Amino acid sequence: MRGAGVVRSLTVVAAGATALLGGMAPAGASGAHSGPHTSYMRPLSAHASHGHGPGGGGSNNLSYHGGVGGIGVETAPKVYLVLWGSQWNNNDPSGEAAIVESFLNGVGGSSWLSSVTQYCQGVATGTVTCGTSGQHAGNPSGIFGGVWADNASAAPSRPSQSNLAGEATRAAAHFGNLTADSNATVQYVVATATGNNASGFGTQYCAWHSSTASTYGNIAYTNLPYITDAGASCGANFNGLGPNAGITIVGGHELAETITDQFPSGGWLDGSGAENGDKCAWISSGQGASANTKLSTGTFPVQSLWSNAFNNGAGGCVP
């Protein structure tokens, strides 16, 4: 791969999509904006073959896309982790559950996540710099809301997007988020066990985030596969950061993107649809290269995130 490369965001319509990726449209598909959009993180191999420049072309900095129901960012973000299915029981060879939980428990309030607070909602579509206007994305120290081991029965062995959306909705009920207001600044990370990931994992995506309508309002959620199942394609030993590096590189990517684009694609994206994580994915050297970050709960590999404010407003990837 090229050291300064970044990955292009793929936001596609889930409704009416083909069976590829378990009910999602294939990478690069498009259609009428009649259903929830899904934003994919490409695996390393797919990223390298595309070789896009910042944001894949178009306007370099991110701009506001008007929100969905007035919501574009998470102003007081809260993230919940769901370990879905009995397949997790005594079956976590890489220790991913503990790694993800520790990362989420320490990432709130960190300097690594601080760049998200420059982005906001309640401003005009096309806004690039919020200043003191609007309601800004948050980076609170208590970002982690808890973990649910939903392991009484097996999850689907190859869950579809509708399966994952349904689990996110059940998680909202489990955690007592029963209204649209209570889900307006919340995200659910649905983690599947080793060998039980949705189709396309490791070849077409490493993870993705989307949203679903429910009786509890719109729900933002992430499909987080068992990352080490994909090996180097999704970050194992990337930049010499160890065999488990991809777990938090990918998990952090989706966390930050959901904070700044809660219901894709109403939040902050560049001219080609790339989010703040996409524009800085899989950088191996120079400004914004993936590296370890120290949190209160340990040291974790992360990628950099795009900041419009960096370099006197020219923008760039910041650790």
* pLDDT tens digits along 149-195: 999 999 999 999 999 999 999 999 999 999 999 999 999 999 999 99
Is 5 contained in some domain?
A: no
Other C-beta atoms lying within 10 Å of the C-beta of residue 144: 21
Is 235 contained in some domain?
A: yes
Q: Give the whole-number percent of the chain exceeding pLDDT 70.
A: 85
Is residue 48 very low, low, confident or very high in pLDDT (cuts 50, 70, 90)? low
Is 149 contained in some domain?
A: yes
Q: How far apart are CA 209 and CA 136, in angstroms?
A: 21
- Looking at every residue in the chain, the average pLDDT score rounds to 88
Domain count, the chain: 1
Q: Is 205 a residue whose pLDDT tops 90?
A: yes
Is 125 contained in some domain?
A: yes
- Span of 21-35, 211-225, 232-246 with lowest mean pLDDT: 21-35
Q: Is the dihedral of CA 254, 258, 261, 265 positive or negative?
A: positive
Average pLDDT over residues 225-246: 98
Is 238 contained in some domain?
A: yes
Q: Is 238 a residue whose pLDDT tops 50?
A: yes
pLDDT the model gives residue 45: 80
Q: Is 9 exposed, middle or buried (0-12, 13-18, 19+ CB in 10 A)?
A: buried
Q: How far apart are CA 180 and CA 218, in angstroms?
A: 6
Spatial CA neighbour of 89 closest among 145, 166, 150, 163: 150
Is 310 contained in some domain?
A: yes
pLDDT the model gives residue 36: 74
pLDDT the model gives residue 158: 97
pLDDT the model gives residue 18: 30
pLDDT the model gives residue 59: 61
Q: Torsions phi, psi of 262, nearest 5?
A: -60, -45
Maximum alpha-carbon separation in the chain? 53
Range of the domain at 104: 10-318
Q: How far apart are CA 68 and CA 263, in angstroms?
A: 6
Q: How far apart are CA 140 and CA 129, in angstroms?
A: 21
Is 4 contained in some domain?
A: no
* pLDDT tens digits for range 99-157: 999 999 999 999 999 999 999 999 999 999 999 999 999 999 999 999 999 999 999 99
Is residue 11 very low, low, confident or very high in pLDDT (cuts 50, 70, 90)? very low
Other C-beta atoms lying within 10 Å of the C-beta of residue 263: 23
Q: Is 58 a residue whose pLDDT tops 60?
A: no
Q: Is 34 a residue whose pLDDT tops 70?
A: no
Is residue 35 very low, low, confident or very high in pLDDT (cuts 50, 70, 90)? low
* pLDDT tens digits for range 60-69: 999 999 999 9
* pLDDT tens digits for range 274-307: 999 999 999 999 999 999 999 999 999 999 999 9
pLDDT the model gives residue 46: 76
HSE on the CB side for 93, CA within 13 Å? Answer: 7
Q: How far apart are CA 151 and CA 55, in angstroms?
A: 39
Sequence-separated (6 or more) residues with CB below 8 Å from residue 294: none
Is 140 contained in some domain?
A: yes
